[in-house]
Structure 1
Amino acid sequence: MMKMKHLILAGCMLAGVSAQAQNEPYVKETDPLVLEKLEAWQDWKFGLMMHWGTYSQWGIVESWSLCPEDEGWTQRQPAGIPYYEYVKKYEALPNTFNPVNFDPAKWATAAKKAGMKYMVFTTKHHDGFNMFDTKQSDYKITAPNVPFSKDPRADVTKEVFNAFRKEGIHIGAYFSKPDWHVDSYWWDYFPPKDRNPSYELAKYPERWNSFRKFTFNQIQELMTGYGKVDILWLDGGWVRPLNMHTKESLSWNKTPAQDQDIDMPGITAMARKNQPGLIVVDRSVHGPFENYRTPEQTIPDKPLDYPWETCMTMGGSWSYVPNDQYKPTNTIIHNLVDIVAKGGNYLLNIGPGPDGTWHDEAYRKLDSIGSWMQVNGDAIYGTRSVAPYKDGKVCFTQKRDGSIYAIYLLDAGEQLPATVRFTGIQPKKGAKVRLLGYKGKLSWKAQDGTVEIKIPAAVQKAGLRYAAAIKLQ
């Protein structure tokens, strides 16, 4: 099993958004249907991500141990195993992949109860193993050599999408642009040196064109054979045209950067022809196909002036790890409130195990989150950032009708204080102030720019947990 610090670091190399990247110009979408969907997406606020593949059998970081870069998140286990011996064992993992307890309806029910409005599922990660019934490759879960291929639920992507769609949850398809299994990306005639193609694209253009066609065809399969899809979530930001590299993306290359143009205009046009209004997220490639940005495992210091989503693990790893340590519910809810107050969405990741189940702890966390959301969801959904967004332990959100919520972040074991104070937001004289989940009115006053809201003793003793939302009408 990989060390936990390696598993955490691995997520940082999925082409997330750094502080530097946040300053890159955002290119606004022009398609009215996409703009409409983006506006709706910003109302959803809370989503589920799942990293799942054959690597889950070993409880290791997803895909990255195949990458011949000497980084903390690419280490192979056991230590010292020769590279090609390791690749052979890794690529034999499909022969034993049999998630017989796979139950996507249970996942979808738990996600809905937690208040999640959308999901993003890994249809293919960088290792190239397909979790859907692609016709472009035999390296897939429905291949005859995979034990689970005999199961009627073998096309797990279809099963997952259908189960979540049935619960009214919007669908996102994660797809890795690089593919470390297909011969048109890592050509076995040359050994791979890093995460990039193993050959010179300019010298072998027909091979790269083959990869472009392969990628287009796979995404077309997802856009035509898997029902309504709301988000195409593309990972592997080093796959981009040469003229679109940044200082940050160039640092991901051990070898000279190449023109890895996979024709995003053509892919996007095809995808939206089949899925009108589709949100396309070409992660970290700052241009017209990055409809929203995805800071990874981090929360920006302040609101951003474009659509964004923090993707973050519930535990310590993106993929399944035995005995993974999950974040406290208090931390998760505080993250959600902080992100929403800054105008973002929160995409929370859970890694299914090799048998197709989640850790029991994941369900317990979602139950607790759901109980809080049932009371306080109005302060989260359909809101936007409002200055000053936060004052001390109080975060602010705003509805379209002008209503503002002041959300007090409770420390673990803390009782809601007798007086909640904040500055920067001041209700109009005579405004109604109420605590979500409490039917009575709250008294308040404003003095010298500070708002003071009195909390009844009975409410203080009610055992409120995580955070308390106060509506200022």
Structure 2
Amino acid sequence: MKQLLSIILFLAGNQLAAQYQPPKDSLVIKKLAQWQDQKFGLFMHWGPYSQWGVLESWSICPDDWVTRTGPYADNYFEYKKAYEKLPETFNPVAFNPEKWVKAAKTAGMRYVVFTTKHHDGFSMFDTRQTDYKITGSHTAFAKNPRSNISKVIFDAFRKEGFMTGAYYSKPDWHSEHFWWPYFPPKDHNVNYSTTKYPDRWKKFQEFTYNQIEELMTGYGPVDILWLDGGWVRPSQKADDPFNQDINMPHIAGMARSHQPGLIVVDRTVTGEFENYMTPEQEVPEKPLPYPWETCMTMGNTWSFSKNDQYKSAHRLLELLVKIVSRGGNFLLNVGPDGNGDWDPVVYQRLQEIGAWMAINGEAIYASRPVAPYSTNNIYYTQSKDEKKLYAFWLSENDTVTLPATIQFSVSATRKIKQVSLLGAQKQKIKWSFANGLVTIQVPDALQHGSLLKHSVVFKLELQ
């Protein structure tokens, strides 16, 4: 079964590679290369739903896999009504993005993607297209001087050198032009025939265009437009009555007219507007032949959950190494709570990650995958100029205990002139290279007393 799955994934990867269309715009190509060098980013799902600690948006969707909890769980319409009143009590007075920036920067993160609007249609920015927004007349936080949350977040992160990305959901379950109240919603798709009612769909296209234009013109330089809800796309069926073509050429052209070089990620919709791929909650087994980013939660859920179980720093660093060694970026998600702060565990995890990155970051940033990519617990990267190779030795435990001898294969075309251990460069290491294998004799002081954690990185300098 596992072998069959590997074959399926391999074929799917080849199919995606064939469908991937590299950007032709030189400014987009340049921005994409810059983004690929960042390697580690912060994702945040946040909205009024965070007060309940429920799954973002989906609890109001009538898809049959959705479950609901709470006093309204047995009545969909009562639940949706209560859900849509959440902005009236959403007052995140602990909102302090500078605190988040400090923690993310310490962890070594270099870009941020924030949910300006999720599928439920609540805008976390001061849009003029609807009053269902963080600055709306019925929103508790509206009078706060920092109520335009998306702008405040982007400004705070950009000030510290972060690339910024605006997550935006194409479907909008609050808009009367997507879920028309005349019909009950049947699932996550538009609930009326767009061919029978083209004027209504046209209004939704205009609504989407106008909101994205606001984000592209009033929120400073934006590097990434991260579009979710891939089911909103042109239909491949002729005369499909529920065609959900949002007119991406019109949107992307407008967005780049305001933000030259903008990376557009129309995720899961392969083609010219998906500048990089976004495997969700998974790490590809092998390097992928196109730009990509694993988006993954630090806990079990995208949005805040009161009893979430967070991955250990050890596990998160292992994921980072595996992703980067295969040529990807790691977009790690955290969900702020209803009061406007992260769980204390999140800060702890980011601090631990930052301590490791302070020592080993040079093997992560601006690196490139290199064969053999990984062997056993060894993972490889190389510098852009190909003058340095890095071999990550992943420890099974938080505390690293190195064996007396470490051996790994290297496919270097240049002669190795020096080998050192990041974090212990003053300690001389005996090594040899023969028949494509590097053999390292680990000094006693480094086997047990190095104080290094999670994994260590051997740096091979080439002539």
Q: In 2, are the aligned partners of 1:415 and 1:463 still within 8 Å (CA)?
A: no
Quote the offset at 1:174 in angstroms. 0.2
Q: 1:360 aligns with which of 316, 319, 344?
A: 344
Deviation by residue 1:20-78 (Cα, 9 ceiling, x = unmatched): 4673221111000000011111100000000000110000000001110110xx21113
Q: 2:233 maps to which residue?
A: 240
Task: Return the letter of the residue paired with 1:418.
Answer: A
Are 1:176 and 2:169 an aligned pair?
A: yes
Are 1:155 and 2:140 an aligned pair?
A: no
Q: 1:456 maps to which residue?
A: 443
Q: Residues 278-357 of structure 1: matches in 2 within 5 Å?
A: 278-357=262-341
Q: 2:459 maps to which residue?
A: 471
Between 312-321 and 414-423, the greater mean CA deviation after superposition:
414-423
Q: In 1, are the aligned partners of 2:266 and 2:274 still within 8 Å (CA)?
A: yes
Q: In 1, are the aligned partners of 2:192 and 2:242 still within 8 Å (CA)?
A: no
Looking at structure 1, the residues matched to 191 and 236 of structure 2 have their Cα atoms a distance apart, in angstroms, of 20
Give the secondary structure class of the aligned counterpart of 1:37.
helix
Cα distance, 1:155–1:191 mapped onto 2, change above 3 Å: same
Cα distance, 1:33–1:244 mapped onto 2, change above 3 Å: farther
Quote the offset at 1:244 in angstroms. 8.7
Q: 2:21 maps to which residue?
A: 27
Q: Residues 106-255 of structure 1: matches in 2 within 5 Å?
A: 106-243=99-236
Q: In 1, are the aligned partners of 2:27 and 2:261 still within 8 Å (CA)?
A: yes
Q: 2:394 maps to which residue?
A: 409
Q: 1:252 maps to which residue?
A: none
Q: 1:14 maps to which residue?
A: none
Give the secondary structure class of the aligned counterpart of 1:234.
strand
Looking at structure 1, the residues matched to 357 and 96 of structure 2 have their Cα atoms a distance apart, in angstroms, of 24
Q: 1:266 maps to which residue?
A: 250
Quote the offset at 1:296 in angstroms. 0.3
Quote the offset at 1:299 in angstroms. 0.2
Quote the offset at 1:132 in angstroms. 0.3
Looking at structure 1, the residues matched to 168 and 303 of structure 2 have their Cα atoms a distance apart, in angstroms, of 15
Quote the offset at 1:427 in angstroms. 7.5
Task: Return the letter of the residue paired with 2:49.
Answer: Y
Give the secondary structure class of the aligned counterpart of 2:355.
helix
Looking at structure 2, the residues matched to 266 and 119 of structure 1 have their Cα atoms a distance apart, in angstroms, of 25
Looking at structure 1, the residues matched to 228 and 415 of structure 2 have their Cα atoms a distance apart, in angstroms, of 50
Quote the offset at 1:455 in angstroms. 1.8
Are 1:445 and 2:423 an aligned pair?
A: no
Looking at structure 2, the residues matched to 100 and 21 of structure 1 have their Cα atoms a distance apart, in angstroms, of 45
Looking at structure 2, the residues matched to 21 and 160 of structure 1 have their Cα atoms a distance apart, in angstroms, of 35
Looking at structure 1, the residues matched to 200 and 418 of structure 2 have their Cα atoms a distance apart, in angstroms, of 67
Looking at structure 1, the residues matched to 354 and 460 of structure 2 have their Cα atoms a distance apart, in angstroms, of 23
Quote the offset at 1:434 in angstroms. 0.9
Looking at structure 2, the residues matched to 408 and 244 of structure 1 have their Cα atoms a distance apart, in angstroms, of 50
Looking at structure 2, the residues matched to 429 and 271 of structure 1 have their Cα atoms a distance apart, in angstroms, of 48
Q: In 2, are the aligned partners of 1:51 and 1:350 still within 8 Å (CA)?
A: yes
Looking at structure 2, the residues matched to 177 and 18 of structure 1 have their Cα atoms a distance apart, in angstroms, of 30
Q: In 2, are the aligned partners of 1:426 and 1:451 still within 8 Å (CA)?
A: no
Segments of structure 2 that go 5 or more residues without pairing to the other structure are 1-8
Q: 1:77 maps to which residue?
A: 69
Q: What is the TM-score of this pair, normalised by structure 1? A: 0.91
Q: 1:379 aligns with which of 363, 370, 374?
A: 363
Looking at structure 1, the residues matched to 12 and 84 of structure 2 have their Cα atoms a distance apart, in angstroms, of 36
Q: In 1, are the aligned partners of 2:416 and 2:460 still within 8 Å (CA)?
A: no
Q: 1:12 maps to which residue?
A: none
Cα distance, 1:178–1:430 mapped onto 2, change above 3 Å: closer
Task: Return the letter of the residue paired with 1:351.
Answer: G
Task: Return the letter of the residue paired with 1:410.
Answer: S
Looking at structure 2, the residues matched to 230 and 267 of structure 1 have their Cα atoms a distance apart, in angstroms, of 15
Deviation by residue 1:68-93 (Cα, 9 ceiling, x = unmatched): 0110xx21113851111111011011
Q: What is the TM-score of this pair, normalised by structure 2? A: 0.93
Looking at structure 2, the residues matched to 22 and 169 of structure 1 have their Cα atoms a distance apart, in angstroms, of 33
Quote the offset at 1:447 in angstroms. 3.6
Between 19-28 and 297-306, the greater mean CA deviation after superposition:
19-28
Quote the offset at 1:453 in angstroms. 1.3
Q: 1:249 maps to which residue?
A: none
Root-mean-square deviation (Å): 1.7
> Sequence identity, in percent?
54
Quote the offset at 1:446 in angstroms. 2.5
Quote the offset at 1:417 in angstroms. 2.1
Cα distance, 1:430–1:274 mapped onto 2, change above 3 Å: closer
Which segments of structure 1 move beyond 4 Å, counting only runs of 4 or more? 426-430
Quote the offset at 1:203 in angstroms. 0.3
Looking at structure 1, the residues matched to 270 and 139 of structure 2 have their Cα atoms a distance apart, in angstroms, of 38
Are 1:60 and 2:54 an aligned pair?
A: yes
Looking at structure 2, the residues matched to 285 and 367 of structure 1 have their Cα atoms a distance apart, in angstroms, of 36
